[in-house]
């Protein structure tokens, strides 16, 4: 099938993420059930689905903010199996490869924009401050916020804060970026600036997993789409075929509902 958004079609490339039969329960409440998932290097996967279907939980399992209770997850060569507690080293190595962006930005309010981006580089990678600051300024430039370096996060709009959060994650040179509804807390207009940055990242070849309610993003920027409901994968495949021609009745209902909103 022709690829309309101009990104090279992903053929055989390294796997960065593989989830095998992943399940997650909170007490007796089963939130994820038998999830299988592969993400290859350079690929953008969009995860969509109704509220409460377990999208955030799955994303948080990928970087082990939430350990899965069943199955195994491999990210950047580190495999973590639910039957065996992860070692500290495994968690560190795994999280070092995965950058995460949250719905609520989660910038550090007491640090300036520049410090927000530089401090993790200093503490996690051991970069000297001067070097970290150079990298931070370059990233701020890239997300169009060079002038905000010395402001505090409260002084920035939501869209700007989210772009800063993206820069903060990128500064640690992740192999994959995980986004949990990065634009849901934003006015549509501010959401667009964030989506533009994400599109540029995708075009630059960054591997991304994006939980989103932005159907346009899912259809045009991502290579593949996964639709979830009730903790299971309903459908998964190339973006356009999934978005335009879903096979299951449940997926059709969901897409219909979002499109008519």
Ligand X SMILES: Nc1ncnc2c1ncn2[C@@H]1O[C@H](COP(=O)(O)OP(=O)(O)OP(=O)(O)O)[C@@H](O)[C@H]1O
Contact at 8 Å (CB) between 231 and 237? no
Contact at 8 Å (CB) between 67 and 86? yes
Question: Binding of another protein at residue 152 (CB under 8 A)?
Answer: yes
Distance between CA atoms of 170 and 151, rounded to whole angstroms? Answer: 20
Residue 107: contacted member of Mg ion, ligand X, another protein, none (CB under 5 to 8 Å, by partner type): another protein
- Nearest distance from residue 68's CB to ligand X, in Å? 12
Contact at 8 Å (CB) between 128 and 122? yes
- Nearest distance from residue 222's CB to another protein, in Å? 21
Beta carbons within 8 Å of 200's beta carbon, 6+ residues apart = 142
Question: Binding of Mg ion at residue 212 (CB under 5 A)?
Answer: no
Question: Binding of Mg ion at residue 183 (CB under 5 A)?
Answer: no
Site for ligand X in 80-119 (CB under 6 A): none
Among the candidate windows 54-62, 70-78, 112-120, 247-255, which touches Mg ion by CB under 5 A?
A: 54-62
- Nearest distance from residue 187's CB to ligand X, in Å? 19
Question: Binding of another protein at residue 231 (CB under 8 A)?
Answer: no
Query: CB nearest Mg ion: which residue?
Result: 56
Site track for another protein across 24-63, x = CB under 8 A: ---------------------------------------x
The DSSP output letter for 178 is E
Burial class (CB within 10 angstroms; exposed 0-12, middle 13-18, buried 19+) of 260: exposed
Name the residues that contact Mg ion, by CB under 5 A: 56
């Amino acid at each position: 099938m022709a690829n309309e958004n101009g990104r090279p079609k992903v053929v055989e490339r390294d796997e960065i993420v593989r989830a095998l039969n992943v399940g997650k329960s909170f007490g007796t409440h089963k939130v994820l059930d038998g999830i299988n998932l592969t993400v290859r290097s350079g690929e953008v996967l969009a995860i969509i689905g109704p509220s409460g279907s377990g999208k955030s939980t799955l994303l948080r399992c990928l970087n082990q903010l939430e350990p899965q209770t069943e199955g195994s997850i491999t990210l950047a060569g580190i495999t973590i199996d639910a039957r065996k507690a992860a070692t500290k080293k495994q968690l560190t190595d795994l999280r070092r490869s995965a950058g995460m962006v949250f719905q609520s930005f989660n910038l550090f309010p007491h640090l300036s924009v520049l410090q927000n981006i530089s401090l993790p580089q200093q503490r996690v990678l051991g970069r000297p401050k001067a070097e970290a600051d150079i990298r931070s300024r370059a990233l701020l430039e890239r997300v169009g916020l060079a002038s905000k370096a010395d402001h505090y996060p409260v002084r920035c709009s939501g869209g700007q804060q989210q772009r800063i959060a993206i820069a903060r994650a990128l500064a640690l040179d992740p192999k994959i970026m995980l986004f949990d509804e990065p634009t849901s807390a934003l006015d549509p207009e501010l959401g667009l600036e964030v989506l533009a940055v994400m599109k540029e990242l995708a075009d630059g070849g960054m591997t991304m997993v994006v939980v989103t309610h932005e159907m346009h993003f899912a259809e045009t920027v991502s290579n593949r789409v996964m639709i979830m409901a009730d903790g299971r994968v309903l459908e998964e495949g190339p973006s356009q075929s999934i978005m335009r021609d879903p096979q299951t009745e449940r997926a059709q209902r969901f897409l219909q509902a979002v499109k008519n909103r």
